[in-house]
Amino acid sequence: MRYQRSSVLFKEAQGVIPGGVNSPVRAFKSVGGTPIFVERAKGANLYDVDGNIYLDYISSWGPMIFGHSYTPVIKAIKETANKGTSFGIPTALETEIANLAIKMIPNMNKIRFVNSGTEACMSAVRLARGFTQREKIIKFKGCYHGHSDAFLIQAGSGAMTYGSPSSPGVTQGTAKDTLLAAYNNLNEVELLFKKYPNEFAAIIIEPVAGNMGCIPPKKGFLEGLRKLCDQNGSLLIFDEVMTGFRLAKGGAQELLEVKADIATYGKVLGGGLPVGAFAANNEIMQYLSPEGPVYQAGTLSGNPLAMSAGLEMLKALNTDEEIYSRLAKKTKRLEDGFRMVLRDKKIPFQINRLGSMISIHFTEKPVIDFETAAQGNFKRFNNYFHGMLDQGIYLPPSSFESYFLNDALTNEDIDKTINCFSKIQLDV
């Protein structure tokens, strides 16, 4: 059995871990079957406990830009661990990586490190509320900003109504302060501002959506949000946990040339270790404790292991002038090959791509928001996922997730992936 050991480990995990996993998408519920258990990874390859080898197209959901076990990062982690793993006391490493990050990020003066993207987004919204002295926020259907209560909200019973909790444990009181709009729909945001004037602290958005597949913003959409925030005294928060340092040195702000008031980061910033951060200008950041009244703290924030790993990652990204063009070319090569195969198979499809983020949707309609992403043929996607997995290609186990390519993938790896794709049975 190809996945025998993984099946045994999954059954064992289910006895002591809810669902057998520590993050839901890993459970393969969207695609069925048993999740693989990874033993190690190197470069573009994953090695599971059954001895199978896979080309990896998720890169730990983004951070492994240079591939797994990237030598400078691993060396830094080992050297730092020998000195101690956590102190709860300031280190010079924190200032060093902060200086480099701020040089790379546009429009920001200061950065605060935390331990996850969820923590960064939660803190960014709290800071926006403290700065503006307003309570309501706007988020977009299908955008994911972590599992903080304020973000686990679904649409209300009708357009322009208050949201409702999408998870037990989230209170109605929390839900009433989060209003939803459709991604890429500026008109809905305008209507919200008209209905609730002077009540919104911020808009929070993935500038390039990655949690309903990869969905780039329409031309003028982000620019329109920037204008609405300026007109209404609200802040624009870019959740760059996925896009930050991946699409460009300065993330989506640099690539798309739209300024955010607060930006959140994660994944890449830790070189693969748990880390998050949020950044803003001096005027906003002075509201953050201990300088200001908005409280945020964390014993492991800025811990030396994460800071040393992240510093080496940022140094490499900052000095490699070709990294982003290489990644984009490789992802375009994958896109072109997949388009050719799907046309030959005469199967309806959409492929969305920006830089090294890409996703496939088995639908005839352009995928521009959550509603259109949800109209894809999920049975066909499941056949696609398992067909590729059986041939040693590891893709996101959900049609609502972006792929993240890494630089360790060679053109030969990508051509192999396209060839594997041509062989699998997609019919439902």
Indicate the Cα dihedral angle 300, 301, 305, 310, nearest 10°. Answer: 160
Q: Tell me how far apart the alpha carbons of residues 13 and 34 are, in angstroms, rounded to a whole number.
A: 12
229 and 236 Cβ atoms separated by less than 8 Å = yes
Q: How many CA atoms lie within 13 A of 131 on its CB side?
A: 27
In the sheet that 45-48 helps form, which strands lie side by side, from edge to edge? 38-42, 45-48, 53-56, 393-394
3 has catalytic annotation: no
The set of residues, in sequence order, having a beta carbon less than 8 Å from that of 360 and lying 6+ positions away, is 213, 338, 342, 349, 350, 351, 381, 384, 399
Catalytic residue among 48, 267, 384, 394: 267
Amino acid identity, residue 201? Answer: A
Catalytic residue among 56, 177, 239, 413: 239
Concatenated DSSP letters for 182-248? -TT-HHHHHHHHHHSTT-EEEEEE-SSB-SSS-BPPPTTHHHHHHHHHHHHT-EEEEE-TTTBTTTB
381 and 362 Cβ atoms separated by less than 8 Å = yes
The angle that helices 323-345 and 411-423 make with each other, rounded to 10 degrees, is: 20
The set of residues, in sequence order, having a beta carbon less than 8 Å from that of 286 and lying 6+ positions away, is 292
In the sheet that 403-404 helps form, which strands lie side by side, from edge to edge? 350-354, 357-361, 403-404
Closest C-alpha among 340, 281, 273, 5 to residue 116: 273
User: Quick one: which H or E segment has residue 395?
Assistant: none
Torsions phi, psi for 199 (to 5 deg) = -115, -15
In the sheet that 136-140 helps form, which strands lie side by side, from edge to edge? 110-114, 276-280, 262-266, 235-239, 200-205, 136-140, 178-181
239 has catalytic annotation: yes
Lookup: tokens for 399 = 């049609």
Catalytic residue among 3, 57, 70, 144: 144
Q: Taking the mean position of all CA atoms in its chain, how far away is CA 166?
A: 20
Q: Tell me how far apart the alpha carbons of residues 372 and 376 are, in angstroms, rounded to a whole number.
A: 8
The set of residues, in sequence order, having a beta carbon less than 8 Å from that of 119 and lying 6+ positions away, is 146, 276, 298
227 has catalytic annotation: no
User: What is the set of active-site residues?
Assistant: 144, 239, 267
